[in-house]
Structure 1
């Protein structure tokens, strides 16, 4: 069995994946770090699972999914749609209805500000 990746390495790869430039795919990031794309996807799924009660985790993942959906080939959007469905269901379990409603607003920086697209506030 392969040796697990160190925690710091996993955190670095996920941080880069979350903060990547427009047009950069998860596959490219995985290749840059020598990680299989499915492994990177699993790490992102762990964030959703263990951060399911965090409003900011929901908002950051939604921003990530929006960015990916805008830049992947149409054949890849089905998987992203499924992931978004899981995220939406998870948001329903947030402890406060106001949090559930806010979870639909993407926030790539996790700062709680208005949705932004590549540094420009959306209206």
Structure 2
């Protein structure tokens, strides 16, 4: 279940980030079209709606995981592994510049997860 939480959260984060980049500056949209124009721009994005759907799946996967395992394992493992997968996804799917410091942090996070699972 930890894997399901991590994968769905990462897909959701990437889809929402991609959608917001394609939508553009919400302040500018709001200035041109008002608050309802900004809301329409966001909710009209298929990527945004897909991202929200994956985030909902992640939430329900987390609930299922918490009903079957300890919070002291599930919460840190899902949060930290999502951090790692988000860094990888940002680099390869969103073409973000992920610097060496973030990669080192990701490796340390993985080491921390390995320690709490033993």
Give the TM interval when normalised to the shorter protein.
0.3 to 0.5
TM-score by length of 1: 0.37
TM-score by length of 2: 0.39
* Greater C-alpha Rg: 2
Larger relative contact order, structure 1 or 2 (CA cutoff 8 Å, min sep 6) = 2
